[in-house]
A and B are shown apart, each in its own frame.
Chain A
């Protein structure tokens, strides 16, 4: 492997400012002494961020630090690593070399430590890398030790600086994109399938914990009784390309995690035997999956995995006053470590429905929370009361924007007692702080405005600050929401130090917040707007620079397409801002080098969704290209799905054109099946809708729609009549409303001689108030009404069956009305109106 180093782009990073830092700490000690003298024992004690350092320094009896930088080393790093349970256990005076943790002379320890610290890029320091690899890490998670060690080193060399440094891009190994293996579609696919190979081992030996039905359920549930759920959960733990790199195997072989007895072990746990059994099944499963060959016509780059990229140092954060930091790097187990370096570490115990999220983070579901012990949490009360200020900072992705009373970060004792809380209330964020101007529940709360819609179901940087002047302020994505705390600021002297820090819930478990937390920090200062903006700009999670080799396509030495990439969440990667660049600063871009259509591929296949660079089309070189920064191809980013998992997914790029290499992209042909006919018989008729009813009645009766009585009735019943002609949607209230309107029209028809005569002729005029019983005893008189109704409502010569039916019904009705109880004296007008309304409100008119 040929690895070249070259300085290329620049990013913001921290730089040593030792002298200034030392002076600052010296000043802090003086201030501490002054404040202690003034406190007089009353009120809360005043504490600086590193209480362990103070006690350690006080017990040191060797020669004094020779200069400010040695003092800074002593205060920030040496005091933390010199105890016997850390580096001092071996690297002490007369012990194992180098003796950077010796306690006899801090100046000698300083000299020994200098070679172990990378002042340009502290994260690359030997001290960080050693503990990060598991070397004498004092907690269970080496990444937590590394993060903590990094904080101590940064505190020593000065993390407050905002100067910039260069990132060294390292050429990745040359790998052909080749083909790759893809997980079969289902748990029962493949030969052997997951269900018949790996799953039986998991279910037999791992279901005691890694199953949702376990008494002590622990995510991921790859031993679930539901094989399909288990399959999905197991995929990230299986490396199809290299089975012995599978997590399932490594946990048994290397970590000796929950090994089981084998036939040859006489009942004792047999880790080699267990690991071999697991590896056999992993290998069988992987061997049964054919390699998906890459399309040979594609124009492709070299390939690499995420881990083969150059780690991006990230923007510099402002953490000078951080008293707890949770980066959620661990990725497994039930503890999220506080890597602030400030003791006591307020590590979070994950309980209930809390799962780790790829790319650093935890996902809190219903019933989940992450809580620190009350003893460790007491540092928040003591340190924040001392400063009178605080900030809660978090990268949150709320699961939804409907949850209310949802406490994302809280330092509290119950549903009604708290010191500080950052909460979500639908699309609003809330801050609650106990102070001299609020109650013990932090009320009244500060709530962002509804119109602002501050909370979104997307990853957001949220900061709640508190200071004695402004009270609480909430910043979202680096910007103050503008909502002022009407309570203002006050004293925090009434804080309760017996509370616990809890994320994703209240300590009672009754204020559930659901979503993803990718970072959280507590500061004992109110971060300034500039500091918040700085931390927002620094982003969250681990990022990589991925260099996709294209030298063979461009003819330009050490040329690459550079992507900034990271694991975005459990299910996707982020690829952003591709650049064309050469690590050979002397190389020149060939003239007229065309690039178009970049497509991302993984494991031999182009990703099916999320291709955002297919429209890139540019000529490389010229004024757009510089040897130092390359040439930006797109300012966009996109997310593409995780396939085999972050450790195994092998990425490559495909191009429509790069130089003389062309692959004319043609969208795969898509055959759209014509809609399937449904020949189920449908009604051939429908109901007259509201305005059709009104207009029909007007046309039949001659009463205009502007008639005040019918218009009033129409306005009243309009929306009770059918809005759709569908007979299947017709309901009884429709019929009632139509009948009422028909009745009104008929009333107006009979009340107005002009309308009435035009409709019935004059045969009724003289008898309107006569007895219906008498008048309609005559068939001829009944025919006056019946014939008029049939003629006008049904039509002449139309639907004889309908006409006959209506005639018969009307004839019967006119005779029936006077016989009804209470209607013995019904008049001709009344009976005629009833017959009219019955006809006009019937299917003869309303059915179309």
Chain B
């Protein structure tokens, strides 16, 4: 039988064999006792971080570090494991940590569907670059920072399209080496004062400033960087003075809905989402990514902040982009706001500083990294302690996310 002349038949039969053989091997593997030596720990750490099996040389290098440090396999969290993990996050020995693991970690944050099946964009590229270069991640929501791809044959980065990044991904450009740090103000022409790190990237604006009332930017920032959707942040005891006119006070004729539910989110969200009052994304909603142009109208409140004003004419009328964090008291004080910041300000940049300085922000980054590497939520007593410890290290160690990944990989190396 010739494979090339009878492909369909062969494929059909092969599939049957593959299913059979694959199942047998899978069951065999699952049935094996869990015992990990230095080689197994090295392989797991590398695979978890880089997403692919290590080369024999890298495996040996990592296994040697583990074996030398622990005289065999290491206990979770051992410094030798962290040292070995550093090899699995180095651009030279593990480019797929950036091209695969980090990229797929970030992409769901950049669209409303939270799908990982979206093209590379400036938001993801900037996170990848910041991790690679150990840029303090507590500037991620406020800095005038952007990473572009330094490779030939790409469209120029622009405030009207993310094709620069999508093309780079399609071309298989190695992000671990090609990313280059620059500024949003220089690349997009956004006023420096209006830049707010990831919040003002093209991808974030396209996803969360299009249509609507700009509250989506706040909500998805909570989801992506505080690991809490609005339902888990509800606090109906906060003052309601900044809730906009478009929020019906008696939805469907029942004000209990407003008082018991709507107030819980809007009393905190509206005063903070006011920071985005000058932003808009003029564009078209796409199947996965939206297309259009970023817009910033300094000193002029976007009309979307004033829509449906007759829903409750006594509601708040947005006059500017000043914001106030009402969650510094009440149950959301537990988010750990920085005592060195005033809790109010104007514009997205200072709001970004408020958010990125909170303990919940740091904890969320660690939690997400833990889930990405350990393949489980940190809900056990041990894992919660691990996350707390790594969060503390993250905050005191200059907010280096790469180290977070190394530490969480060392926390679940297999035993």
Contact = CB atoms under 8 A, between A and B. Distances in A.
Interface of A: 357, 361, 363, 397-400, 456-461, 476-478, 515-516, 568-572, 574, 576-577, 608-615, 634-641, 667, 670, 672, 675, 677-680, 682-686, 688-689, 691-692, 695-696, 699-700, 705-706, 718-719, 723, 725-727, 735-736, 739-740, 742-743, 747, 769, 793, 795-799, 801-802, 805-806, 809, 813, 817, 820, 822-823, 825-827, 829-830, 833-835, 837-839, 841-848
B154 interface: no
A118 B401 CA distance: 77
Interface in B289-343: 308, 310-316, 329-331, 333-334
29 contacts: A399-B253, A458-B308, A460-B310, A476-B310, A477-B310, A571-B255, A638-B240, A641-B256, A670-B334, A677-B381, A691-B100, A699-B53, A740-B15, A742-B18, A793-B53, A795-B43, A795-B53, A797-B63, A798-B43, A799-B43, A801-B32, A805-B29, A834-B17, A838-B17, A842-B21, A846-B26, A847-B30, A848-B48, A848-B375
A819 B243 CA distance: 75
Contacts of A478: 310
Contacts of A823: 1, 13
A682 B253 CA distance: 46
A695 B51 contact: yes
Contact of B29 (A398, A838, A847): A847
A460 B250 CA distance: 11
B384 interface: yes
A802 B15 contact: no
A424 B380 CA distance: 51
Contacts of B249: 458, 568, 572, 574, 638-639
A844 B375 contact: no
A331 to B, nearest CB: 15
A514 B25 CA distance: 60
Contacts of A688: 47, 51
B24 interface: yes
Contact of A795 (B59, B236, B248): B59
Interface of B: 1-3, 9-11, 13-15, 17-22, 24-30, 32-34, 39-40, 43-44, 47-48, 51-56, 59, 63, 96, 99-101, 103-104, 115-117, 172, 236-237, 239-241, 243, 248-256, 258-260, 263, 308, 310-316, 329-331, 333-334, 372, 375-377, 379-381, 384, 412, 414
A166 to B, nearest CB: 23
A614 to B, nearest CB: 5
B53 A515 contact: no
Contact of A706 (B10, B22, B172, B313): B172
B25 A839 contact: yes
Contacts of A398: 252
B228 to A, nearest CB: 12
A618 to B, nearest CB: 14
A427 B59 CA distance: 61
A692 B52 contact: yes
Contacts of A813: 17, 21
Given A457-B248, A636-B315, A696 B1 contact: no
B250 A608 contact: no
A739 B19 contact: yes
Nearest to A515: B253
- Quick one: which of A459, A833, A846 has the most chain B CB within 10 A? A459
Contact of B314 (A572, A636, A692): A636
A675 B388 CA distance: 12
A419 B250 CA distance: 32
Given A675-B384, A740-B15, A848-B51, 16 more contacts: A398-B252, A456-B248, A457-B248, A572-B258, A576-B314, A610-B240, A635-B314, A683-B376, A691-B51, A718-B117, A719-B117, A747-B3, A802-B28, A806-B25, A827-B3, A838-B22
B59 A798 contact: yes
A809 B250 contact: no
Nearest to B95: A695
B47 A735 contact: no
A448 to B, nearest CB: 14
A386 B109 CA distance: 63
B314 A670 contact: no
A572 B255 CA distance: 6
> 6 tightest A-B contacts by CB?
A637-B314, A516-B253, A686-B375, A838-B21, A458-B248, A843-B26
A430 B288 CA distance: 34
A736 B315 contact: no
B176 to A, nearest CB: 13
Contacts of A726: 375
A798 to B, nearest CB: 5
A611 B237 CA distance: 8
Contacts of A516: 250, 252-253
Given A689-B104, A829-B3, A609 B376 contact: no
A667 B384 contact: no
Contacts of A833: 3, 14
Contact of A841 (B1, B22, B32, B248): B22
Contacts of B379: 675, 677-678, 682
Nearest to B51: A692
- Quick one: which of B18, B39, B96 has the most chain A CB within 10 A? B18
Nearest to B249: A639
Given A684-B34, A699-B53, A848 B44 contact: yes
A73 to B, nearest CB: 38
Contact of B380 (A399, A672, A678): A678
B137 to A, nearest CB: 23
Contacts of A515: 252-253
Contacts of A634: 241
B52 A696 contact: yes
Contacts of A846: 26
Nearest to A797: B39
A458 B29 contact: no
A616 to B, nearest CB: 8
Contact of A572 (B239, B259, B333): B259
A842 B240 contact: no
Contact of A636 (B15, B29, B316): B316
A841 B310 CA distance: 60
A838 B116 contact: no
A610 B247 CA distance: 13
Contacts of A719: 117
B344 to A, nearest CB: 11
A641 B257 CA distance: 11
Contacts of B237: 608-609, 667
Contacts of B29: 802, 805, 842-844, 847
Nearest to B375: A686
B10 A830 contact: yes
Contacts of A613: 241
B386 to A, nearest CB: 12
Contacts of B25: 805-806, 809, 838-839, 842-844
B184 to A, nearest CB: 27
Contacts of B256: 571-572, 641
Contact of B255 (A569, A611, A686): A569
Contacts of A842: 21-22, 25-26, 29
B15 A736 contact: yes
Contact of B40 (A640, A739, A799): A799
A743 B40 contact: no
A672 B331 contact: yes
Contacts of B384: 675, 677
Contacts of B314: 574, 576-577, 635-638
A611 B239 contact: yes
Contact of B22 (A610, A614, A735): A735
- Quick one: which of A637, A825, A827 has the most chain B CB within 10 A? A637
